[in-house]
Amino acid sequence: MSLTNQPPAQTATTANANAQWGGRFAGGPSDIMQAINASISFDKALWKQDIAGSLAHAAMLAHVGIISKDDEAAIRAGLNEIGSEIAAGSFTFSEALEDIHMNIEARLSERVGEAGKRLHTARSRNDQVATDFRLWVRDAIDGLDQQVASLMRALALRAREHAADPMPGFTHLQTAQPVTFGHHLMAYVEMLARDRGRLADTRRRLNECPLGSAALAGTSFPIDRKMTAALLHFERPTANSLDAVSDRDFAVEYLSALSILAMHLSRMAEEIVIWCSSPFSFIRLSDAFTTGSSIMPQKRNPDAAELVRAKTGRINGSLVGLLTVMKGLPLAYAKDMQEDKEPVFAATDAAALCLAACDGMVRDMTANTQQMRALAGSGYSTATDIADWLVRVLKVPFRTAHHVTGRLVARAEAQNIGLAELTLAEMQAEEPGITQDIYSVLSVDASIASRTSEGGTAATNVQAQATRWLEALTSGTHTTAEG
């Protein structure tokens, strides 16, 4: 609701008292209080998790004899019917009932009567929402993990395709040494593997069940927390009831993992933008991932990549926002923590969209291998190969070889020619021991082929690593091609 230019808020009458609080409150909340307090507009996204948690709780209550088997059966049937209503879009959410928990519970009581009112025995909304939220984040991690794996497969396939195609490698965005396009793409596979590892670590740590912690102190009822944990596929119950209801580390850690993932996707997107630009022209994206200009008919703008780059700010903001919410809260639960869900939901949506866009662009792009090759040898990119040759063949100390090579680059630069165009006499003027053999290391292909060290850019390395990763991804290995 909009609060702009509203008349002074009025407190609701006794007749409108909030039924949730029973006899404690004679009157209902003001319009402003209701607007700031209600969370149903966003936490209705937790409905599947809330129903799952309630089903597990009801089964446990019946198992230990706190409620009857008949009540549990009625609750189970009612919750399943409510789930069908919500899925079909026929469920009416009420802001007056504040949140998803009370909306479902109220509807359950309407459907099954007294049995529905027994469901909340031995639990609180505090442990209920902590459980629901962990379940939601766990589900989100599983979905994003599959998306990351798909993008890794797309990159590895393209890397294998371009394992031997040279391109300039950069430091400081200046030409440094020749690499292959496949090697460059495989760098992102490694980054994304670490992202999958972080998400998996987050999932492992959050996989403890708060249900049964009640409001903050546990409960006097003889509940079986191991049973509810098992029914909800948690590894174990949480160990401390105060911590269980007030912990949002899992959400912070999840957003931290998403922020790092978004940073990696943003770096990839930035390179796609650069590679698409006319001075580079390394790749081309089709109409599916570009837009035009309203005034310049020749333009093909890589807007999908630019928006991936921009959405990093949204995801980072979600992390900072939740850290700020949590930083000053005493134990246990405080209403501030209602602000935990929207940033997590928003960041998840943004991350999923960015992953889909990057996956699409990688599969869509066409590499201009001729242009990459033409520029791979620019900027005296094989200079290091001269220094390495001097060390390897003439046994010159590397620092001396570095200085000799620098003088050769200066000679070539003064004449505006490539290193391979220097005469043998010119090279020997800087180092008499140089022989004709030095020209064998000055080509881009020779430079790339020589980089056979583990993790190097030699085409055989790239081909093998891409193949290993594709096999690992098929087998379900998360973090290493050798795993």
Catalytic position from the list 84, 94, 293, 440? 293
From the list 172, 278, 294, 475, the catalytic residue is 172
Two tokens, residue 107: 């509807």
pLDDT at 294: 61
CB contact at 8 A, 478 and 469: no
Phi, psi of 180 (to 5 degrees): -105, 155
Please give the DSSP secondary-structure letter assigned to residue 11.
P
Tens of pLDDT, residue by residue over 396-441, are 999 999 999 999 999 999 999 999 999 999 999 999 999 999 999 9
Mean pLDDT score, 229-236? 98
Interacting residues of 196 by C-beta distance below 8 A, sequence separation 6+: 145, 148, 149, 152, 478, 479
Question: In this predicted structure, what is the pLDDT of residue 1?
Answer: 37
Q: Which residues face 208 on adjacent strands?
A: 236
pLDDT at residue 458 is higher than 60: yes
Give first-to-last CA distance, the chain, whole Å. Answer: 53
When pLDDT is averaged across residues 318-325 and rounded to a whole number, the result is 96
Which residue has tokens 């770096």?
Answer: 267
Those residues with Cβ within 8 angstroms of residue 177's Cβ, 6 or more apart along the chain or in another chain: 169, 381, 382, 384, 447
Alpha carbon of 272 to those of 58, 234, 316, 330: distances in Å?
52, 41, 21, 46
Annotation marks residue 2 as catalytic: no
pLDDT at 278 over 70: yes
- What are the distances in angstroms from CA 181 to CA 64, 267, 371? 62, 16, 12
Mean pLDDT of 456-470: 96
Query: Long-range contacts of range 396-401, CB-CB < 8 Å, 24 or more positions apart?
Result: 396/431, 396/433
Give pairs for 219-225: CB < 8 Å, separation 24+: 219/122, 219/123, 221/64, 221/66, 221/121, 221/122, 222/64, 222/66, 223/60, 223/61, 223/64, 223/66, 223/122, 224/60, 224/63, 224/64
Distance (Å) of CA 274 to CA 24, 163, 164, 306, 402: 64, 21, 21, 10, 31
Is 293 one of the catalytic residues?
yes
Residue 13 has pLDDT above 80, yes or no: no
Structure tokens at 309: 């780059």
- pTM for the full model? 0.89
Please give the single-letter amino acid code of residue 77: A
| 425 alpha-carbon distance from chain centroid | 56
Q: What is the CA angle 173-179-183, rounded to 5? A: 105
Centre a 10 Å sphere on the Cβ of residue 37 and count the other Cβ atoms it contains.
15
Residue 7 pLDDT more than 50?
A: no
Q: pLDDT tens for residues 165-219?
A: 999 999 899 888 999 999 999 999 999 999 999 999 999 999 999 999 999 999 9
Identify whether the C-beta of residue 226 lies closer than 8 Å to the C-beta of residue 237.
yes
Q: What is the pLDDT of residue 300?
A: 78
Question: In this prediction, what percent of the chain has a pLDDT beyond 70?
Answer: 91
pLDDT of residue 3: 40
Indicate if the pLDDT at residue 291 is higher than 90.
no
Structure tokens at 200: 């998996």
